[in-house]
């Protein structure tokens, strides 16, 4: 029986970005007849403080004779850093080669690693054969922490099934005929995602431009506060969390996507908007400031700055030719680089690499 690749991932049925990432990739990897996956789905224990020990026990029971490689999927956040670091220690102890894919990256926690946790990093993740990160900045930090192995700067990706019945030209022509310009914010409704700057910028913009609407999609700790803020604003619609066909419909019908976050890794929602051919306005944070091509993909602005956000949207609205060029560039870029099909092809050599 051929050896398998062990995938240690959050619950695949959950709504997180890492779960979406691997749900799509596992489908694409079925096209390769020499890679077989065994998954250990971790987390999802709620208030059960002993759940992590069950996860550790399942990793401990893995027979290394059945496994050729393991993939660990942490984020640089307090809980994930230590939990997935322990898994990495277990794999190293069992002499199972592994790779690490850092999905999220919190700058405040990075400072804690600088100050207190570099040794933990060196005794856990630093034993990985390869570490994937989402920006050159993160790569440099990992080198600074003492990692000597291979580091690859990658993107996240989208599930290409979202675009299965999407025709860019027809969709764009249809939106050109519409009298109302629809701006979309789709993210967790938390201050750190820039939602309050988004609302402030839109309200200022509405004083000069009347035929615009803002749709706010998502849920989070500030949902009720935001709902109260916009309840009397006829041009602002808050619709809660969306998935599946509802999310596809939003991307198809929107003209501009905005995500003015304070910090990010490389958010899938931005990649989805690009792949649907939406001009994007986002911030110079995390992986975005290296991945995002300012002016070609939309506008890159400073975080926590509602004035820059307003001005960026205004400039796009004034230049219809620019919007069309950006939309076409984004759609083509998404097809070429951002789908799970092309991501699987990029990851394949690292998974099949000999120890």
Which pTM was predicted? 0.86
In tens, the pLDDT along 175-210 reads 999 999 999 999 999 999 999 999 999 999 999 998
Long-range CB contact pairs, 57-64, < 8 A, 24+: 59/8, 59/87, 59/90, 59/91, 60/90, 62/6, 62/94, 62/96, 64/94, 64/95, 64/96
**pLDDT for the residue 264:** 84
In tens, the pLDDT along 63-122 reads 999 999 999 999 999 999 999 999 999 999 999 999 999 998 888 999 999 999 999 999
Alpha carbons 261 and 287: distance in angstroms, whole number: 12
**pLDDT for the residue 354:** 61
Q: Is the pLDDT of residue 320 over 90?
A: no
In tens, the pLDDT along 11-68 reads 998 877 899 899 999 999 999 999 999 999 998 887 787 888 999 999 999 999 999 9
Q: Which domains does the chain have, with CATH numbers?
A: 4-157+339-352 (3.40.50.11930), 161-336 (3.40.50.2000)
Q: How many CA atoms lie within 13 A of 117 on its CB side?
A: 16
Across the beta sheet with 236-240, the strand order is 236-240, 212-217, 181-186, 256-259, 280-283, 298-301
What are the Cα distances from residue 276, in Å, to 71, 150, 247?
Answer: 30, 33, 11
Q: Which residues contact 106 (CB under 8 A, 6 or more apart)?
A: 75, 76, 77, 263
């Amino acid at each position: 029986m051929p050896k398998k690749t062990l995938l240690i991932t959050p619950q695949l049925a959950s709504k997180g970005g890492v779960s979406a990432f691997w749900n799509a990739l596992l489908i694409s990897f079925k096209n390769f007849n020499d890679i077989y996956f065994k998954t250990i789905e971790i987390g999802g224990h709620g208030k059960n403080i002993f759940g992590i020990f069950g996860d550790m026990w399942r990793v401990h029971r893995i027979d290394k004779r059945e496994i050729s490689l393991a993939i660990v999927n942490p984020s640089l956040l307090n809980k994930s850093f230590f939990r997935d670091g322990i898994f990495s220690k277990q794999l190293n102890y069992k002499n199972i080669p592994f790779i690490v894919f850092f999905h999220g990256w919190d700058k405040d926690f990075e400072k804690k690693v600088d100050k207190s946790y570099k040794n933990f990093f060196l005794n856990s993740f630093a034993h990985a054969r390869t570490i994937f990160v989402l920006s050159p900045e993160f790569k440099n930090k990992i080198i600074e922490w003492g990692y000597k192995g291979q580091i690859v700067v990658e993107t996240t990706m989208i599930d290409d099934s979202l675009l299965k019945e999407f025709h860019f030209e027809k969709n764009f022509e249809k939106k050109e005929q519409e009298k109302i310009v629809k701006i979309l914010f789709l993210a967790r409704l938390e201050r750190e995602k820039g939602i309050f700057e988004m609302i402030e910028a839109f309200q200022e913009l509405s004083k000069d431009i009347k035929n615009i609407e803002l749709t706010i999609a998502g849920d989070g700790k500030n949902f009720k506060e935001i709902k109260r803020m916009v309840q009397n604003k006829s041009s602002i619609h808050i619709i809660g969390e969306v998935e599946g066909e509802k999310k596809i419909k939003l991307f198809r019908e929107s003209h501009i996507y905005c995500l003015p976050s304070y910090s990010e890794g490389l958010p899938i929602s931005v990649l989805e908007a690009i792949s649907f051919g939406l001009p994007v306005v986002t911030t110079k944070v995390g992986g975005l400031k290296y991945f995002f091509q300012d002016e070609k993909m939309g506008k890159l602005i400073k975080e926590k700055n509602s004035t820059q956000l307003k001005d960026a949207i205004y400039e796009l609205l004034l230049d219809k030719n620019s919007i069309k060029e950006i939309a076409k560039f984004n759609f083509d870029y998404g097809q070429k680089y951002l789908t799970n099909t092309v991501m699987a092809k990029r990851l394949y050599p690292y998974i099949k690499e000999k120890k």
